[in-house]
Structure 1
């Protein structure tokens, strides 16, 4: 089997990618920013039922520095670049997110090219595809790119767009024989394996905790993290994935109120704190003046972006779980791990 490096193995997506690679019999390496994160990764693998963690080795490397990357990629057949800076709030300086995302991606690609790696799969985002455009009926697909001049383009969206653009430019100009494929997930849900999880998961946690008396009018695509990991593995080995992008979205766009209704309908007493009401937009805008977390939400109010995963399904045979399964597995794992209010 192949030797595969996963960057950011302690993250929510990264750990599921590592789990599936181990299950498929690959020799797996992963990077962590600090050596003490190794214990967290091993604990999450145990939670995820990993059968062969002895096939995993660790390397210390940071997206903001050159040290460690050459050693991490040496002898690898593939690199899955999952690591990216993520914040639940809007940073004062957008470059806090943009520079590590873009420069870190180039650092990984450069090291992979120099080591003779066959293919790199980069985790981008639907944020690099469907933002900065006027409302439209036609779903976004892989031919679309986010318009960085749009009012709804937050620093995270900008960082993912610029990082992916830089990756394609690098391959075209300096890539040599290195191949690239890109996965563009929507909002990522699914089973949490530890306390380190993404902003999408925070939405479900906040609903279960009763942190919001009413929810903002926000819509997004949904995908299960296990299906995102599966798509990475398919994009890694399929000849047809070379030079291609693949949107990862399960089905129809959901609102936060839709998610709340799924939780209330399916979880019974465990969802007793989940709100029933949607807040009017003017109230969310007013509250955003005092609550930093809401500032990122304001440009998204009422915007519905439809997207399609037809390409991933037809080219790579990808078959994702339903929206409901992704949402419920998120909630059930948060409850099981004691990460929501009792």
Structure 2
């Protein structure tokens, strides 16, 4: 891990670099002086690379390079990581086999991958630190909309889904990127780090969105939280106003909820997803 406040020419690998969090992290790392190896599924796919090249345009020649990172190809991953001082592992595999609920693929792969990483780290003396973000929102860099922003967009368009089985911890995408950098650069960082603005129910979040943007179609009526949702949309989830105590102790400044929502709305508007 980096011992100073900036990369100072260190080379790091980011898997899933073309994604929502990945591209924001790449921008942050380049800004702090790191040379970044962007792990993408297909380096020849401009939909995966053009927005990253745009981020690196002013960073200097050779600061960003692309590597094929198919997570089912161990040799390719080793090639990409060889010579790096650190790896930011954001990518998750997705099966093409039929399943009843496709929404399960991503969280299941993340959970299993983390368990495997901890086991491997224990057996091989590897230094691993984990950032566990909640529902990540904010400005989109990639050309395609990601899952959490699509969920937010549907809320603005009137979707009444309560997401009862989903943990909701809204967090700004730039906070998530900075959290990864902070735990990498902090020698004292260890274990798991929850990265959320707060722990709340979908109904709480929807109420705040309805308050800030009353003209959108957030399901609402005049009583009880101003929304059609029940008070407890995530049964058994305990609300917590401060959700990232370990990261705050490392110096992370959590973006206020209002800015998280406003930045997400403006990004959706700029891409034409909402008007």
Aligned to 1:83: 91
After TM superposition, the structure 1 stretch with the greater mean CA deviation from structure 2, 323-332 or 195-204, is: 195-204
Determine the structure 2 residue equivalent to 1:224.
172
Larger helix share, 1 or 2: 1
Deviation of 1:302 after TM superposition, in Å, equals 3.1
Contact 1:3 1:26 in 2 (8 A): yes
1:326 is paired with a residue of what secondary structure?
A: helix
**1:275 corresponding residue in structure 2:** 219
Aligned to 1:201: 149
In structure 1, distance between residues paired with 2:265 and 2:90: 23
Q: Which residue of 2 aligns with 1:302?
A: 235
Where does 1:1-342 land on structure 2 (aligned, <5 Å)?
Answer: 1=8, 2-43=10-51, 46=54, 51-52=58-59, 54=61, 55-85=63-93, 92=99, 156-173=106-123, 175-176=124-125, 178-210=126-158, 212=159, 214-216=160-162, 218=164, 220-241=168-189, 243-255=190-202, 257-267=203-213, 271-276=215-220, 277-279=227-229, 301-306=234-239, 308-314=243-249, 316-340=250-274, 342=275
Q: Give the C-alpha shift of residue 164 in structure 1.
A: 1.3
Aligned-pair CA distance for 1:192: 1.4
- CA separation in 2, counterparts of 1:311 and 1:67? 35
Per-residue displacement from partner, 1:205-225 (whole Å, max 9, x unpaired)? 112333x2x342746211111
How far off its partner does 1:274 sit?
Answer: 2.8
TM-score (norm 2): 0.80
Q: Would the alpha carbon gap of residues 65 and 217 (structure 1) be closer, same or farther in structure 2, given more than 3 Å must change?
A: closer
Gaps of 5+ in 2: 1-7, 221-226
1:66-108 C-alpha deviation (Å, 9 max, x unpaired): 2422221121111100111469xx96179x99xxxxxxxxxxx
Aligned to 2:223: none
Q: Is the 8 A contact 1:189 1:222 kept in 2?
A: yes
For structure 1, which runs of at least 5 residues remain unmatched after alignment?
A: 98-153, 282-299
Q: TM-score, normalised by structure 1?
A: 0.65
Alignment partner of 2:140: what SS? coil
Secondary structure at 2:37 match in 1? strand
Larger CA deviation: 216-225 vs 22-31: 216-225
Q: Is the 8 A contact 1:260 1:274 kept in 2?
A: yes
Is the partner of 1:304 in helix, strand or coil? coil
**Cα distance change on mapping 1:68 and 1:321 into 2, 3 Å:** same
SS at 1:18's partner residue?
A: helix
Count, aligned residues: 254
Q: For 2:179 and 2:129, how far apart are their aligned partners in 1?
A: 11
Query: What's the Cα RMSD here?
Result: 3.0
